[in-house]
């Protein structure tokens, strides 16, 4: 039997069980708070980028309209990766799950000819993604008592 300098620790399993579940609850709560803040910021950034690049495209008379596609799309792909990494609203029957698959298929098939189709569909996809984020923050992530108002 090996003894530590402080003596045998017979209660370490109970401590791990007690503190492990406590840390798990704190960790999940912290993840929820951080993701809610990220999602709120995500909605506003997406709206600002979509409106900003739409105005920029009109002002520049369409000379640089593709840059908006890449900036808005790049932001939204980054947002999708954050959601997948944190397993936030990515269950297999959710809207976000299907949207992620549609986006992946769109990006993979782009080199073989769907590029022109994406030029027309991408703005609608960007607006829909922003709507998904809005709905998740302002509808699904509300506290149960807030729904009674």
77-130: per-residue pLDDT in tens?
999 999 889 888 888 888 888 999 999 898 888 888 778 888 899 999 999 999
CA distance 44 to 133: 10
User: 60 exposed, middle or buried (CB, 10 Å; 0-12, 13-18, 19+)?
Assistant: exposed
Per-residue model confidence (pLDDT) at position 121: 92
64-80 pLDDT per residue, tens:
888 999 999 999 999 99
Calculate the average pLDDT of the chain. 82
Stated pTM of the model: 0.76
The neighbour count for residue 112, using CB atoms within 10 Å, is 7
Per-residue model confidence (pLDDT) at position 17: 59
Rounded to 5 degrees, what angle do the CA atoms 16, 19, 25 make? 130
Per-residue model confidence (pLDDT) at position 143: 63
Per-residue model confidence (pLDDT) at position 144: 57
Torsion of CA 116, 69, 54, 102, to 10 degrees: 70
């Amino acid at each position: 039997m090996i003894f530590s300098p402080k003596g045998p620790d017979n209660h370490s399993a109970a401590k791990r069980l007690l503190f492990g579940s406590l840390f798990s609850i704190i960790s999940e709560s912290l993840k929820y708070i951080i993701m809610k803040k990220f999602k709120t910021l995500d909605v506003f950034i997406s709206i600002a980028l979509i409106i900003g690049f739409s105005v920029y495209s009109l002002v520049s008379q369409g000379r640089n309209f593709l840059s908006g596609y890449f900036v808005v799309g790049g932001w939204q792909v980054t947002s999708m990766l954050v959601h997948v990494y944190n397993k936030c609203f990515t269950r297999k029957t959710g809207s976000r799950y299907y949207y992620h698959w549609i986006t992946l298929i769109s990006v993979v098939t782009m080199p073989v000819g769907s590029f022109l189709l994406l030029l027309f569909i991408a703005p609608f996809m960007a607006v829909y993604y922003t709507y998904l984020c809005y709905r998740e923050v302002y509808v699904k992530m509300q506290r149960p008592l807030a729904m009674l108002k």
